[in-house]
Amino acid sequence: MNLRGAEITQVNDASANLTRTWSIGRVLPRLMFFSLLLDLVLRFVPLDPLTFRAWEAMLRRYPNAVGPFIPNKHYHRDNSYGGVAGIGNLPALRHYHSVDFTTDADGFHNPPALAQGEPIGLVIGDSFAVGSELPEEQSLSAELTHRFGAYFYNAGGPQPLPLRSLRTVAQRLHLHHGMVIFEFLESRALQDPPAATPEGGRGAAQAFFFRAMGADWTDRLGTPLNELHASPLRALSVKLEKRIQDDTLLPNSFASFVIQERLRNGEPIVFLPAEWQSPSDARKAAKRWAAYFAWYSAELGKDGLDLVVLLVPNRTTIYAPLLAQPAEVSRSRATLEDFRDALENVGVDTVPLRNRYVHDARILLDQKKYLYFLDDTHWNGEGTARAADEIFKARK
């Protein structure tokens, strides 16, 4: 082979190698591996730059505290807005507000400024109890502290604390006599109650595993495992997708995930479909939960603690009748009544909010004031203030 032929062969070999290097069979596996590696690394990076609410930024991703949030951290954002408007990618329906979220050494939402010595009670429940979108002085625990003149500790999280975890928190707080306010949102009626065991385990094997782990590590691992599916890389990709789907470049497909309505005073309001759901058999659900709360209350009584269940209605239960085109809420009303009756029948102290909320929501509507955020599922300061009033009246 002459020199010219050798050069041509080398060029062809190099071209073939380059083609093989950039073939989809080689590029795609490498891209997948790189994406997996990037996703894994980003899970250990603070999420603050990708978030618009405190909840996403403050939840723990690794076990370092008993509570559900990153301990000893303060989050501030001037332009936070509701999660429902965020899900629907509806900037025009956002209600911007500043938000602060401060955690204590145990990873619960308790700003030091509100602490007033040893507590006389604590609040458990889900994000309503936490009060993540509220000014910190308007959370339910802060409002109760103001009403009673003594400190209520906020032990809210993604899920209400199981009995053993609650006892651990109470011991750390030296709370031997006092109240436990269990915030129970209407939509939780769709779920089965936890197992009536101290650790919340279902079945002997799961209960044994929780006991072997101990209360601290069960709590420490619980939130990170529950939040393992929350991928920062996915959050970033969704954020970019929403920027493109602005009904100008591309249609907004995210709008189909929410329900847009208008109140009779002309104000737009946006709901999640789940807010309209009720149990198929509310009485059966109420009896199951009543049995759980009866056990929970009896166990707390052994520790000198009194359980009070706060029945919080969904936004739809209060505002569907106040829409420009009113919607029926008889099933929601019946669900809350069934739960109130079932709890009272087993001797569990209950504070229902529906009647007070229905009355006040109608009065506030003409003033364009509300008990819940219009762009989010959660109650606002007006809602927590009235909830604290009702608890105080029932317990004074």
Residue that wins the pLDDT comparison between 208 and 337: 337
Helices vs strands, H then E, count in the chain: 14, 9
Domain boundaries, the chain: 3-42, 49-395
Rounded-to-integer distance, Cα 348 and Cα 341, Å: 10
**Backbone phi, then psi, for 239, in 5-degree steps?**
-60, -45
Instruction: Identify which of 256, 254, 258, 252 has the alpha carbon closest to the alpha carbon of residue 275.
Output: 258
Assess whether pLDDT exceeds 80 at residue 32.
no
pTM attached to this predicted model: 0.84
Query: In this predicted structure, what is the pLDDT of residue 11?
Result: 47
**Backbone phi, then psi, for 132, in 5-degree steps?**
-70, -25
Average pLDDT over residues 2-17: 53
Rounded-to-integer distance, Cα 246 and Cα 100, Å: 29
CB 142 within 8 A of CB 183: no
Query: In this predicted structure, what is the pLDDT of residue 55?
Result: 86
The residues, ordered by sequence, that sit 6+ positions from 117 with a Cβ below 8 Å of its Cβ are 150, 151
Of 41-55, 70-84, 347-361, which one has max mean pLDDT? Answer: 347-361
Residue that wins the pLDDT comparison between 65 and 314: 314
> Could you say which DSSP state residue 161 is in?
P
Residue that wins the pLDDT comparison between 36 and 19: 36
Angle at 381 (CA atoms; ends 357, 352), nearest 5 degrees: 30
pLDDT digits (tens, 9 = 90+) for 87-98: 999 999 999 999
Average pLDDT over residues 322-329: 97
Crossing angle of helices 204-226/163-172, nearest 10°? Answer: 60
Assess whether pLDDT exceeds 90 at residue 270.
yes
Rounded-to-integer distance, Cα 363 and Cα 300, Å: 38
Q: Band of the pLDDT at 62, cuts 50, 70, 90?
A: low
Q: What is the mean pLDDT of the chain?
A: 86
Rounded-to-integer distance, Cα 205 and Cα 195, Å: 13
pLDDT digits (tens, 9 = 90+) for 134-191: 999 999 999 999 999 999 999 999 989 989 889 999 999 999 899 999 999 999 999 9
Rounded-to-integer distance, Cα 239 and Cα 225, Å: 24
Rounded-to-integer distance, Cα 234 and Cα 298, Å: 44
Is the sign of the CA dihedral 104, 226, 140, 84 positive or negative?
Answer: positive
pLDDT digits (tens, 9 = 90+) for 200-250: 666 666 666 666 766 666 666 665 555 555 666 677 777 788 888 888 888
Domain 49-395 has CATH 3.40.50.1110: yes
Of 7-21, 65-79, 290-304, which one has max mean pLDDT? Answer: 290-304
